[in-house]
Amino acid sequence: MNEAAMFQLIADELNLNPLQVKNTVTLLDDAKTVPFIARYRKEHTGSLDEEQIRAVEERIHYLRALEARKGTILSSIEEQGKLTDELKKRIGAATKMQELEDLYLPYKPKKRTRATVAREKGLEPLAEMLLGRRETDIRDAEALAAAFVNAEKEVEDSSQALQGARDIIAEWISEDADIRQDIREETFARGLLSAEAKKVEGRTPFEMYYEFSEALSKIVPHRILAINRGESEGVLRVSVSVDEDVMEQLISRRVLTGVPAPFTEQVKTALADAYKRLIAPSIEREVRNALTEKADAHAIDIFAKNLKNLLLQPPVRGKKILGIDPGFRTGCKVAVIDETGKYLEGLTIYPHPPQNQFLKAKSDVRRLIEKYDAAIIAIGNGTASRETEQMAAELIAEMKPARTVEYIIVSEAGASVYSASKIAREEFPDLEASMRGNISIARRLQDPLAELVKIDPKSIGVGLYQHDINQKKLSESLGHVVESCVNSVGVNLNTASASLLRHISGLTSRTAQNIIYFRDRHGKFKSRRQLLEVEGIGEVAYELAAGFLRIPDGDNPLDNTSIHPESYPATQKLLEKFGINDIRKEGAMLKLKIKNIRSELQSLLDELGIGEPTFRDIIANIEKPGLDPRDSLPKPILKSDVLKMEDLKEGMWLKGTVRNVVDFGAFVDIGVKQDGLVHVSRMAERYVKNPLEVVAVGDVVDVKVVSIDMERGRIGLSMKKD
């Protein structure tokens, strides 16, 4: 398959124009990043978004790997002297790796098998005669086999000869690409995935799978992942079952045609053996792997969408925040940060058992709030969080009306990972690891994106079975999400950390750190062009990175927009044409001035030398320079009083924040110790197939309490209005 055919195939699969695919692949081959292509090469790609560009990237990599594999296989078969024109044609036409490997299977070097032994005993001609591939006048299987009895080759009688011939036939059948495809499709269509308990002591999370069976075609991804985990932990025994008679009939239709009638029973015995001993176990492995890959892809997709929504939560700006990492025995770590995230002061308090220094702890927190004028208390949601919340609510009530302070429970997932990391040690070399987590808790409320990029995405806690799925693919996907989020928001070149900068298009960990060194030596950047003075950043890196870096108080107001420097001449010409002198004061007027030029638009674009997508992006940026897309999202819910699980009543309506979205629903923080579950069946009046159609991580939703299980700490919620 040549490149043009690949472009056409991808275009057909993704419902795109082949030219869009070709141009996108050309840009990718030229080492342009996905965020850069999506934002600054819209005229080339037809305005494809990042998801579409990544889909093109994934498919072109697959098809190129497929073509490379075809070359290897063709060479191998040709070296064996077995490459026919028909086989070469079929290999060339293959569009899937599985199809290709099926065709190669008969020619693939293999370990010593029963069929190999039979061939060494000279029984291959007998197998060919039984199948009707070689002429013989003998019409009795035993008599035919008698001619192959050979004591020297350990073929003692006709029975042994027939057994060896059947072994050869079984291997031929098992290696037939068409037969394997028939069995594979039928297994997926009619097969069942079954699970049963092994010897289990005590309760386990897998009890619903102790006597389980479901059609392969219907089983949902989260069940596959749960069953896989139960199997890996030795709790479950798992198998794929299918009607063997149906499978053998499928094989018979392809194999028995042309078999001489006297030999039919011998071949039937061989094909039954081929299915049970060779094909079924192999196809079961393939089916289980395919189900797992599908479940992995689904889980990774959910994780990625949850992570994106979490990273893009709106920042809480302009507030000093007091963060608390709660605990019992080791106490609660407390830290105050200023409006820029700078650490001001920290201490350890012991309000809970066993120390029970409640009044002193409350007094210490009050002192810090008053000393630094902190407006928000951010409490981690780990051990002792609700007890700490009770203390915070009591303190807030005592400070009213003289001082208004609010609190919020913040997910501390990954805070311990960060606190022990190299990044944390470099940021706070004089603080113990135990003190760094509370700073992270406060900062992730102040700017979730800037803080969470310091943590391995897998540790952030918005996935489903994230430790069971393909770790390489998960890391790649989550890396793409982080890259996409950071570049979609953009970063302040003069305040961004190296952790944030390294995710910018065109930058690396080394060049990100070099930007910090440059800033420390020379002071704030005044223009994007100064990036070229940073060691390791040349014209290529500058082209990819510049548009995503902001300088709010720089020499050129355009440096605080996502307009790329390559479009500055066109932008300046546009501003001059419509009499805009200062975009910070007059930017909003430009949209009004060009409102009625639809008929003259093309001539204006020709005059400016840009395409319409770039023109529209320039207008949007001039209208609102320095816009942060996160600012338009709902702010997090801040509270001043506490709600306990004992306070809940069925039928009560509450506001909550979506913490995690999974296949079967969404977990919502309603302000008590345990997140409640909105099952997918209770998300809307209509049928909801995918919870992500309705909610996303960070959404603020109205929910009704429908069930309370105090013993197991479970809360059932509903978003239905009835």
Domain boundaries, the chain: 3-107, 114-300, 321-446, 490-555, 561-629, 645-718
Structure tokens at 488: 């979609």
Is there a contact between 304 and 477 (Cβ–Cβ < 8 Å)? yes
Out of 3.30.420.140, 3.10.20.600, 1.10.287.130, 1.10.1370.30, which CATH number does the structure's domain 321-446 have? 3.30.420.140
Give the Cβ contact number of residue 95 at 10 Å. 13
Is there a contact between 567 and 574 (Cβ–Cβ < 8 Å)? no
Residue 570: how many CA atoms within 13 Å on its side-chain side?
Answer: 20
Dihedral sign for Cα atoms in the order 412, 414, 418, 420: positive
pTM of the entire predicted model: 0.87
Structure tokens at 387: 């007890």
Domain 3-107 fold is: Arc Repressor Mutant, subunit A (1.10.10)
How many whole angstroms from its chain centre is CA 237?
A: 28
Dihedral sign for Cα atoms in the order 288, 293, 298, 303: positive
10-residue block means of pLDDT along the chain (722 residues)?
A: 94 97 98 97 97 97 97 96 96 94 93 94 96 92 94 92 97 96 96 92 88 95 93 94 95 94 96 96 96 93 91 93 95 95 96 96 97 96 88 94 92 88 92 91 94 89 79 91 96 94 97 96 96 97 97 94 96 91 82 74 91 94 88 83 83 90 91 88 92 91 92 91 80
Architecture of domain 114-300: Orthogonal Bundle (1.10)
d(CA 563, CA 547): 6
Residue 596, pLDDT score: 67
Is there a contact between 408 and 376 (Cβ–Cβ < 8 Å)? yes
Contacts of 190 (CB under 8 A, 6+ apart): 215, 242, 243, 246
Is there a contact between 704 and 652 (Cβ–Cβ < 8 Å)? yes
> Measured in Å, how far apart are the chain's first and last C-alpha atoms?
57
Nearest to 130 by CA among 95, 179, 164: 164
Residue 381, pLDDT score: 86
Is there a contact between 237 and 231 (Cβ–Cβ < 8 Å)? yes
Nearest to 485 by CA among 701, 314, 693: 314
d(CA 277, CA 485): 51
Give the Cβ contact number of residue 40 at 10 Å. 24
d(CA 545, CA 486): 12
d(CA 259, CA 136): 12
Is there a contact between 246 and 190 (Cβ–Cβ < 8 Å)? yes
CATH code of domain 490-555: 1.10.150.310
d(CA 602, CA 41): 19
Please determine, looking at this structure, whether the domain spanning 645-718 carries the CATH number 1.10.1270.20: no
Specify the 3-state DSSP secondary structure of 138. Answer: coil
Specify the 3-state DSSP secondary structure of 420. Answer: coil
